[in-house]
């Protein structure tokens, strides 16, 4: 079972997000937002700012990472939130995924991500540092 921490600072720019949860097992910051109350772009900035423990005004404009008009159009408030749409992009050192059901996830790009590794079929490996830099042995002439 995944454990999580709740972070609530830095959410002043949105009304519908009470807290951002950090899943310590999968290294994912996750928040629910209400598209009828908040802009998805502002909600995204709020989640990343909270994850970084930074003021949202100190982040790069979201427009530098994605077309925010298209983002808003894609995830506009609708009665049908079950269309299964999601969009993933990079912003401020995070892989951000916005889901049509009103969820935003942010994964630090430098964090281990067992879920993505498993999906890609990558097995965790440990390299023996003592053998990493050894030269091959030569046979005697």
The pLDDT tens digits of the residues spanning 89-134 come to 999 999 999 998 899 999 999 876 555 555 555 554 444 333 333 4
State residue 8's pLDDT score.
61
Comparing CA positions, the residue from 107, 98, 108 lying closest to residue 33 is 98
State residue 115's pLDDT score.
52
DSSP state at residue 16: S
Task: Answer yes or no: are the C-beta atoms of 102 and 34 closer than 8 Å.
Answer: yes
With pLDDT > 70 as the criterion, what percentage of the chain qualifies?
A: 67
pTM, rounded to two decimals: 0.73
């Amino acid at each position: 079972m995944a454990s999580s921490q709740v972070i609530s600072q830095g959410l002043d720019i949105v009304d519908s997000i009470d807290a951002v949860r950090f899943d310590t097992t999968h290294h994912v910051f996750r928040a629910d937002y209400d598209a009828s109350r908040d802009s998805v772009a502002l909600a995204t900035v709020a989640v990343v700012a909270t994850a970084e423990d930074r003021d949202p005004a100190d982040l790069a404009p979201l427009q530098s990472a994605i077309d925010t008009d298209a983002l808003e159009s894609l995830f506009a408030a609708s009665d049908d939130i079950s269309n299964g749409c999601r969009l993933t992009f990079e912003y401020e050192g995070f892989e951000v995924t916005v889901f049509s059901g009103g969820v935003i996830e942010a994964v630090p790009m430098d964090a281990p991500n067992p879920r993505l590794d498993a999906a890609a079929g990558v097995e965790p490996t440990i390299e023996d540092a003592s053998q990493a830099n050894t030269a091959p042995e030569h046979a005697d002439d």
